[in-house]
């Protein structure tokens, strides 16, 4: 009988790991399903009544005693180029970590950074990105309490990779699976700018536009929201790898609902839309790094939207809602009303997603 | 006036990051001092009355409420080769994480893995190391509650890097700075085997011996010790990068004490000693990945040693003690009685430490 890991590997079909396995889409789901969840016994998917591999949310919860729960998140940042219009790998790593905790309903309190550097990187470049990372944490009142620092020989890594761990204290648990039929969906600002900025900066499609990444912490949005409307927020997410398309598909699947959105209502910066058109990519599949998507109770949706506008997020909009599926074939899918009045299924992004976006 | 990060970078002297900056010795201390601690305001070195950049211990503590504290640790694993005699990067990453929590006096409960893979890695190799990682966690009752998975283009990383985050519940805080004059030092088993195994497997010095890494979790040692002798344990550490030499130098420095050790008492496997002799490296500077060094109250030292022997760690020995320095020039140093009866200063390992040992 073949060993467990060998059987798991064969389920992947591909004999070698491809770029698409890391895109955050379908193929990444297969890796997580077969090579991670399939190998971990279920009782080790979480601690006590916390969450973990069962939910695969932005952050996992650990119960510390009867009353307190902490949220933990981990992400690696390998973005190329490491300094890009609107930010750099340091501000990206700090923002991504802070945002994963915030959309999990937690107040970020501490971070740890594990850094792998390629021999020969300019000392000033390292200092520059670390300074960005640290400033972003400190401006958001997050302590840097530890980390790791390794250097590998030239050619063993491209410049630098930063893995961030974030710890937060849970204010209101926001679980991806808590969305109810009728809940309204709010997006806090224009989507897809980070993904477009990185692709454009690389000149991937032979085209460079002046697009700035939207990378920033969502602290000024999420902390007041959690304090004032904690009870009316059902779920929150930041549409990074795979964009809004990926996030909404996950929500539809995890809740067994169908999600309807109105594409005309989804804010996208003009240059981002132009760039996405030219390269033939759906802006909904492009990453954002400073945007939140919220599922809120329908009764309070308009009131919450006004509050978000007052917080300074002027482009925030209600973009759609979650509904009970009319039939089995509607369960777990995302349907968009297109600007010309038709309907289309918003697919889980796959394959073509480019690597090293974040 | 130059910016803060530019000034910080200049303090490093070297214009580019060198392999030695990641060796875990003097040069790594400079990176941490100038580019991390120097850029973070002190009030953000830790959370509340917890620990962090102030202590730079194996694990950091976060106070969750009046009674409970959690321990957090993060480390990147970039070992080359990824499968080596006695283990692989999966068992190494899991063991290293578990051990950092245990020597911090915490019971490990949860882990998260952030994995960066090179495009083209064999799916079976990935499944094999993930299976090792997961089995090691589960055998030690640690849940895997999340992580990240990214693939980067060929040449952007060498095969795989795993960054592990570990979370534990504090049983007894074991801080590096709690050692008192008179405390005895115990080592739980032969040192340097992991470092020697990796170097030998690579044939770095044109010599391959049959040396197995000692990589393993210290759970069967540390949990019973913490339960029975929590009050008599002052500090604990696992001598990974930089080996026992690095660990004891840190302890001497952090406590303002002088540490005396008797080299003849330090257990080293015969092949490891032979290999270290031939390549001209101090076995005390070679990494271990399944060994604990303990500082214990002198009254209970013999009793604790017997207990450790009963737990199955037959090679455990008392190797020396911490003392009040006779003069300022003795403060913070490590002095070894050599097997031939002389004395030598055990230096902080620097420069020559090879990369990708762990």
Residue in chain A nearest B143 by alpha carbon: A44
Q: Do B144 and A45 make contact, defined as CB atoms within 8 angstroms?
A: yes
The answer on pLDDT for B169 being more than 80 is: yes
Domain assignment present for residue A49? The answer is no
CA distance B206 to B29: 31
Q: Are A90 and A129 in contact (CB under 8 A)?
A: yes
Q: How far is CA B6 from CA A209, A349, B1, B2, B37, in A?
A: 30, 41, 10, 6, 15
Helix axes A89-102, A123-139, angle to 10 degrees: 30
* B208 falls within a domain: yes
In the stretch 162-201 of chain A, residues with CB closer than 8 A to chain B read 163, 165, 167, 169
Q: Compare all CA atoms of chain B with the CA of A62 and give the residue at the minimum distance.
A: B110
Task: Summarize the confidence of residues A55-69 as an average pLDDT.
Answer: 91
Distance CA A103, CA A175 (A): 9
Instruction: Say if A79 falls within a structural domain.
Output: no
Q: Give residue-wise pLDDT tens across range B302-331.
A: 999 999 999 999 999 999 999 999 999 999
Within an 8 Å CB–CB cutoff, is residue B119 touching chain A? yes
Is there a contact between A173 and A69 (Cβ–Cβ < 8 Å)? yes
Query: Can you give the CATH number for the domain in which A325 is found?
Result: 3.90.650.10
pLDDT at position A7 over 70: yes
Q: Give the number of other Cβ atoms within 10 Å of residue A206's Cβ.
A: 7
Angle between helices B89-102 and B123-139 (to 10 degrees): 30
Residue linked to tokens 């009045």: A341
Output the six-digit token pair for A11. Answer: 């389920």
What are the pLDDT digits (tens) for B2-49?
Answer: 799 999 999 998 999 999 898 877 888 899 999 999 999 999 999 999
What is the domain count for chain A?
Answer: 1
Q: Identify whether A145 is part of a domain.
A: no
Q: Which residues in chain A touch residue B67, judged by CB atoms under 8 angstroms apart?
A: 65
Going by C-alpha positions, the residue among B174, B158, B147 that lies closest to residue B229 is B174
Strand partners, A84: A87
pLDDT(B352) > 60 = no
Look at residue A209 and tell me whether its pLDDT is greater than 90: no
Residues 34-73 of B with CB under 8 A from A: 35-36, 39-41, 44-47, 50-53, 56, 59-60, 62, 64-65, 67-68, 70, 72-73
Contact status, residue B116 vs residue B152, Cβ threshold 8 Å: yes
Query: Which residue in A has a C-alpha nearest to residue B16's C-alpha?
Result: A122
Indicate the residue of A17, A141, A156 with minimum beta-carbon distance to B151.
A17
Are A109 and A70 in contact, with CB atoms under 8 Å apart? no
pLDDT digits (tens, 9 = 90+) for B213-246: 999 999 999 999 999 999 999 999 999 989 999 9
Q: What is the pLDDT of residues B125-152, one digit of tens each?
A: 999 999 999 999 999 999 999 999 999 9
Predicted confidence (pLDDT) at residue A352 exceeds the cutoff of 60 = no
Please, which residues have CB within 8 angstroms of residue A270's CB and are 6 or more apart in sequence? none
Residue A82, in any domain of the structure: no
What are the structure tokens assigned to B66, written together? 């009046």
The number of C-alpha atoms within 13 Å of B255 and in the hemisphere containing its C-beta is 29
A318 part of a folded domain: yes
| Torsion sign (Cα): B321, B327, B333, B334 | negative
Is B148 within 8 Å of A54 (Cβ atoms)? no
**The two structure tokens encoding residue A255:** 């809740």
**CB–CB contact B138 A110 (8 Å):** no
- CB neighbours of B286 closer than 8 A, spacing ≥ 6? B191, B192, B193, B194, B195, B196, B243, B272, B276
How many residues would you count in chain A?
A: 358
> Could you report the per-residue pLDDT of A119-148, keeping only the tens digit for each?
999 999 999 999 999 999 999 999 999 999
pLDDT exceeding 70 applies to what percent of chain A?
Answer: 99
Rounded CA-CA distance B332/B336 in Å is 13
Average of per-residue pLDDT across A255-279: 96
What stretch of H or E contains A4? helix A4-11
Which DSSP symbol is given to B354? P
The answer to whether residues B177 and B113 touch, using CB atoms and an 8 Å cutoff, is no
Instruction: Give residue B355's pLDDT band: very low, low, confident or very high (50, 70, 90).
Output: confident
**Interface size between A and B, measured as CB pairs under 8 A:** 333
Whether B25 and B348 have beta carbons less than 8 Å apart is answered as: yes
Pairing of strands B184-187, B293-296: antiparallel
- Give the pair of three-digit tokens for residue B79: 């070992």
Q: Does B209 have pLDDT greater than 90?
A: no
> pLDDT, tens digit, for every residue of A306-316?
999 999 999 99
pLDDT of A31 strictly over 90: yes
pLDDT digits (tens, 9 = 90+) for B62-105: 999 878 899 999 999 999 999 999 999 999 999 999 999 999 99
Q: What is the mean pLDDT of residues A253-280?
A: 96
Tens digits of per-residue pLDDT, B272-281?
999 999 989 9
B306 touches chain A (CB under 8 A): no
Domain residues for the domain of B306 are: 184-345
B286 close to B349: Cβ distance less than 8 angstroms: no
Interface with chain A: mutation pick from B74, B112, B154, highest number of A CBs within 10 Å: B74
SS3 A176: coil
Chain A CB within 8 Å of residue B338 CB: no
Q: What is the ipTM of this complex?
A: 0.94
**Burial status of residue A33 (CB atoms within 10 A of its CB: 0-12, 13-18, 19 or more):** middle
Does A305 reside within a domain? yes
Report the chain A residue with the minimal C-alpha distance to residue B32.
Answer: A149
Tokens linked to A67:
């009353």
Contact criterion met (CB < 8 Å) for B114 and A76: yes
pTM summary value: 0.95
Specify the pLDDT at position A119. Answer: 96
Closest CA to A352 of A249, A238, A204: A204
Residue B23 has what pLDDT?
81
Q: Which of B95, B130, B35 is nearest to B287 (CA)?
A: B95
When CB atoms are compared, the residue of A130, A157, A167 closest to B36 is A130
Say how far apart CA B159 and CA B122 lie, in whole Å: 9
Whole-number pLDDT of residue B66: 76
Q: Which of A17-26, A65-74, A173-182 reaches the highest mean pLDDT?
A: A173-182
Strand B87-88 to strand B143-152: parallel, antiparallel, or no bridges (unpaired)? unpaired
Number of H helices, E strands in chain A: 9, 14
Sheet holding A160-170, edge to edge: A60-63, A69-77, A160-170, A106-118, A143-152
Min CA distance, B160 vs chain A (Å)?
10
Strands A143-152 and A106-118: parallel
Structure confidence by residue, pLDDT tens digits, A285-308: 999 999 999 999 999 999 999 999
d(CA A176, CA B124): 32
Q: What is the pLDDT of residue B204?
A: 77
How many other CB atoms are found less than 10 A from the CB of residue A326?
9
Residues in A touching B54 (Cβ below 8 Å): none
Share of residues in chain A with pLDDT > 90 (%): 88
Nearest to B22 by CA among A158, A119, A112, A156: A119
Partner residue facing B109 (CB), from A47, A143, A149? A47
Q: Is residue B232 assigned to a domain?
A: yes
Per-residue pLDDT band for A193 (boundaries 50, 70, 90) equals very high
- How far, in Å, CA of A225 to CA of A307, rounded? 8
What is the rounded (10 degree) CA torsion for B124, B126, B131, B133? 160
């Amino acid at each position: 009988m073949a060993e467990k890991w060998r059987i798991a590997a064969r389920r992947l079909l591909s004999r070698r790991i491809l770029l698409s396995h890391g895109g955050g889409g379908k193929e990444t789901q297969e890796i997580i399903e077969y090579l991670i969840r399939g190998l971990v016994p279920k009782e080790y998917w979480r601690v006590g009544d916390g969450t973990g591999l069962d939910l695969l949310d932005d952050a996992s919860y650990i119960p510390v005693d009867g009353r307190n729960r902490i949220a933990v998140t981990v992400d690696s940042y390998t973005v190329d180029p490491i300094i890009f219009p609107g930010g750099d790998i340091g501000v990206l790593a700090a923002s991504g970590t802070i945002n994963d905790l915030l959309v999990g309903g937690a107040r970020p309190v501490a971070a740890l950074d594990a850094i792998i550097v390629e021999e020969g990187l300019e000392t000033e470049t390292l200092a520059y990105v670390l300074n960005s990372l640290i400033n972003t944490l400190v401006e958001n009142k997050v302590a840097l309490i530890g980390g790791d620092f390794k250097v590998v020989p030239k050619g063993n890594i491209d410049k630098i990779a930063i893995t961030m761990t974030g710890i937060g204290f849970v204010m209101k648990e926001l679980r991806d699976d808590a969305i109810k039929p009728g809940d309204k969906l709010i997006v806090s600002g224009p989507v897809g700018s980070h993904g477009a900025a990185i692709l454009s900066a690389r000149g991937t499609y032979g085209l460079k536009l002046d697009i700035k990444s939207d990378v920033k912490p969502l602290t000024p949005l999420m902390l007041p929201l959690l304090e004032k409307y904690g009870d009316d927020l059902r779920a929150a997410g930041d549409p990074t790898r795979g964009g809004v398309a990926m996030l909404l598909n996950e929500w539809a699947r995890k809740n067994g609902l169908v999600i309807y959105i109105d594409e005309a209502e989804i804010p996208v910066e003009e240059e981002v839309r132009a760039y996405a058109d030219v390269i033939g990519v759906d802006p909904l599949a492009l990453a954002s790094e400073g945007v939140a998507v919220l599922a809120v109770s329908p009764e309070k949706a308009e009131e919450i939207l006004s509050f978000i506008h007052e917080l300074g997020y002027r482009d925030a909009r209600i973009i759609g809602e979650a509904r009970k599926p009319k039939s089995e074939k509607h369960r777990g899918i995302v349907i968009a009303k297109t600007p010309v009045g038709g309907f289309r299924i918003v697919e889980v992004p796959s394959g073509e997603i480019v690597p090293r976006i974040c």
